[in-house]
Amino acid sequence: MIVGDRVQLQQVLVNLVMNSIDAMRNREGEHRLSLTTRAVDDGVEFTIRDTGPGLAPGQESKIFEPFVTTKSSGMGVGLAISRTLVGAHGGKIRAGNHPDGGAEFVFTLPAADLEAELSEPDEAVSG
């Protein structure tokens, strides 16, 4: 279980999913988008993977900077906002290319302190 602002975490997921869809939009062949979650030692890991063209070499860390975009019509703020929101929740986000092709974005959020959160169940988001 994680604790966080539902709207902010939804914004992160929507942004990553929409970026993946955009990356695959003009590509031939199969289009596949996968979202997975899994428990890790200190929290929950979310992975969004697509079958788009992937990231150019060296782009993995730059794409989280404000006003950096790979889209012709992009503003370059979505991933910067996502990084800020994930960080505000005590998490980390990273990007890379999957060995089978396409891009992969992974963010982790810390596990909730269940004893402290049981008194505020409306704030808990399960993952």
Residue ranges of domains in the chain, CATH in brackets: 2-114 (3.30.565.10)
pLDDT tens for 53-88 read: 999 888 887 888 866 666 666 666 889 999 999 999
What is the model's pLDDT at position 74? Answer: 65
The DSSP letter of residue 76 is S
The per-residue DSSP string of 46-58 comes to EEEEE-S--PPTT
* Mean pLDDT for the chain overall: 86
Mean pLDDT in order along the chain per 10 residues (127 residues): 92 95 86 95 94 88 74 74 95 94 95 68 54
Pure H helices in 72-121 = 78-88, 114-117
